[in-house]
Amino acid sequence: MEAVVLVGGQGTRLRPLTLSTPKPMLPAAGVPFLTHQLARARAAGVTRAVLATSYRAEVFEEHFGDGASLAMHLDYVTEREPMGTGGGIRNVADRLTSAPDEPVIVLNGDILSGHDLAAQVAAHQAAQAAVTLHLVHVADPRAFGSVPTGADGRVTAFVEKSPEPVSNQVNAGCYVFTRSVIDGIPTGRPVSVERETFPQLLAAGAVVQGFVDDAYWLDVGTPQAFVRASADLVRGVLASPAVPRIGAALIRRSARVDASASVTGGSVVDADATVAAGARVTSSIVMPGASVGAGCVIESSVVGRDAVIEAGCVVADSIVGDGARIGAGNELRAGARVWPEVTLPDRALRFSSDV
Ligand code: GTP
């Protein structure tokens, strides 16, 4: 079976991490996020995938090459201008090898999902659908378009995101298309599957099927979700063939963690990174070459490559860009983002009102 993976987005919500690295290539549990998706797809029977690239396209092929390390065949197609989700799918059509009536899996490159992909394909074939969408239920559907279904599982509407959503059943970003439907997407201009292709198929009376599966699911598009995905993979909350050993933390052999420091909650301390005495690192990603000073508290955060956090800092729910230097005694909280190479003087930022 073959798949298309959409990996061309700019990942603006994850800046500054995505200034240099596209979102699907950011490290989660120590390897590019996309590795987990591809490895899970491979386990479900996908032997060939075409990556629809645009933003920083070259990085993908440099890392994954022909896909041999994943025991699958990878191909790459780059849009000169971003074509949106539908345009990106259409743009790879001439690289697909499936027959017109065969299923092709399409994955957003920023979803971590434990759902049963093979069962989604089987549901698509049983319903003889044009498209079958993986749907999940979320606690707060306001950030999503809702996708209600009827008793037979057919999608009845695509409702744009709103402050008062009609349902908490949402598009989970994994589709099975009948190949000929991909060939029918218009060429030469940006197209959104969510806003254009799917509503048009519904209006034309095509079978648009929902596949509801509430297994583990996370859209990793925000910093909070990204660190959570990495921590969940490290701890084995979601199994990934690309995480050979699960545990409380992943500490690379070349990293140096002081014996009095604690690294827990699914954190990663990557190659050549250091964590000094008394520091506490929880559910965070410390990228290669970064250093965390004595007594620091790092929680649900990303410390970028070669960044330096000096002693006594608190970094919570925040991102420190590559090569940034955070002087001693700073407190970063609640979505703070420090741009790459920026230096913050000692004790420049504190959150407590009593300081
Ligand atoms: P934000 O800018 O933070 O919203 O992230 P994003 O650019 O990734 O956008 P979004 O999360 O809506 O994208 C969903 C998926 O589609 C991601 O896997 C993107 O990589 C992919 N994607 C978005 N736009 C394009 C595009 O124009 N071309 C291709 N090939 N993929 C796209």
Give the chain's domain count: 2
Cβ neighbours of 1 (radius 10 Å):
18
Residue 199 one-letter amino acid: P
Domain boundary residue, one of 168, 202, 221: 221
- What's the confidence (pLDDT) of residue 355? 39
| 233 is a domain residue | no
Mean pLDDT by 10 residues, the chain (355 residues): 96 93 96 96 96 94 96 95 93 96 97 96 97 95 90 92 86 97 95 95 97 94 96 97 92 97 98 98 98 98 97 97 96 93 90 51
Identify whether residues 77 and 216 lie together within a single domain: yes
What CATH number is attached to the domain comprising 160? 3.90.550.10
Candidates 330, 336, 343, 349; CA nearest to 16 is 336
Nearest ligand 1 atom to alpha carbon 13: 3
Atom 23 of ligand 1: nearest residue by CA position:
9
For residue 230, is it within any domain?
Answer: no
According to DSSP, the residues that pair with 264 across neighbouring strands are 282
Could you give phi then psi for residue 104, rounded to 5 degrees?
A: -125, 130
Q: How far lies 254's CA from each of 275, 278, 340, in Å?
A: 12, 19, 23
Find the residues whose C-beta lies inside 6 A of ligand 1: 6-13, 23, 52, 54, 79, 82-85, 88, 108-110, 221
- H or E stretch covering 184: none
| Cis before 223 (ω within 30) | no
CB contact set of 255 (below 8 Å; sequence gap of 6+): 269, 270, 271, 272, 273, 274, 275, 286
Comparing C-alpha atoms, which of 62, 157, 291, 296 is closest to residue 51? Answer: 62
Question: Could you give the dihedral angle defined by the CA atoms of residues 142, 124, 7 and 69, in that order, rounded to the nearest 10 degrees?
Answer: 130
Task: Identify the three-state secondary structure at position 280.
Answer: strand
Check: CB of residue 190 under 8 Å from CB of residue 107: no
198 and 252 housed in the same domain = no
Of 166, 186, 221, the last residue of a domain is: 221
> Atom 14 of ligand 1 has which residue's CA nearest to it?
108
Q: How far is the CA of 292 from the centre of ligand 1 (A)?
A: 32
Determine which residue's CA is closest to atom 22 belonging to ligand 1: 9
Residue nearest to atom 31 of ligand 1 (CA): 8
Amino acid letter, residue 108: N
Query: Can you tell me the distance from the alpha carbon of 77 to that of 112, in angstroms, rounded to the nearest whole number?
Result: 23
Range of the domain at 174: 2-221
Q: Are residues 73 and 173 in the same domain?
A: yes
Q: Which residue has the tokens 């809702």?
A: 146
Q: Determine if the pTM surpasses 0.85.
A: yes
pLDDT given at position 354:
42
Query: Within this chain, do residues 165 and 307 fall inside the same structural domain, yes or no?
Result: no
Distance CA 290, CA 305 (A): 5
Tokens encoding 131: 């498209």
Determine, yes or no, domain membership for 280: yes
Query: Is residue 114 a part of any domain in this protein?
Result: yes
- What is the rounded radius of gyration, in angstroms, for the C-alpha atoms of the chain? 21
CA 344 to chain centre: 29
Beta-strand (E) ranges in 270-309? 274-275, 280-282, 285-286, 291-292, 297-299, 302-303, 308-309
Q: How far is the CA of 348 from the centre of ligand 1 (A)?
A: 35
In 3D, which of 287, 251, 256, 288 has the Cα closest to residue 266?
A: 251
Question: Do the domain assignments include residue 241?
Answer: no
- Ligand 1: centre distance to CA 13 (Å): 11
Q: Which CATH number goes with the domain that contains 300?
A: 2.160.10.10
Q: How far is the CA of 18 from the centre of ligand 1 (A)?
A: 12
Which atom of ligand 1 approaches the CA of 219 most closely? 11
Based on the fold, state whether residues 214 and 273 are members of the same structural domain.
Answer: no
**Could you tell me if 215 and 253 lie in one domain?**
no
CB 208 within 8 A of CB 198: yes
Asked if residue 298 and residue 208 are part of one domain, the reply reads: no
Going from the Cα of 221 to the center of ligand 1, the distance in angstroms, rounded, reads 9
Candidate of 14, 110, 337 to mutate for ligand 1, largest count of ligand atoms within 8 Å of Cβ: 110
Res 353: pLDDT:
46
Asked if residue 278 and residue 167 are part of one domain, the reply reads no
Flag whether 62 is in a domain.
Answer: yes
Which residue has the least CA distance to atom 30 on ligand 1? 8
Half-sphere exposure of 291 (CA within 13 A, CB side): 12
Residues 216, 254, single domain; the answer is: no
Q: Report the candidate in 66, 104, 80, 111 with the shortest Cα–Cα distance to residue 8.
A: 80
CA of 164 to the centre of ligand 1 (A): 25
- CB burial readout 302-311, b (16+ within 10 A) else e: bbbbbbbbbb
Q: Domain boundary residue among 221, 237, 272?
A: 221
Q: Are residues 95 and 216 in the same domain?
A: yes
Q: How far apart are CA 64 and CA 70, in angstroms?
A: 8
Q: For residue 177, give the nearest of 201, 149, 150, 160 by alpha carbon.
A: 201
229: in domain: no
Is there a single domain that holds both residue 199 and residue 254? no
Same domain, 20 and 149: yes
Report which ligand 1 atom has the smallest distance to the Cα of 108: 18
55 Cα to the center of ligand 1, angstroms:
9
Q: Which residues contact 93 (CB under 8 A, 6 or more apart)?
A: 182, 183, 185
What 3-state class would DSSP assign to 317? coil
Assigned domain for 159 exists: yes
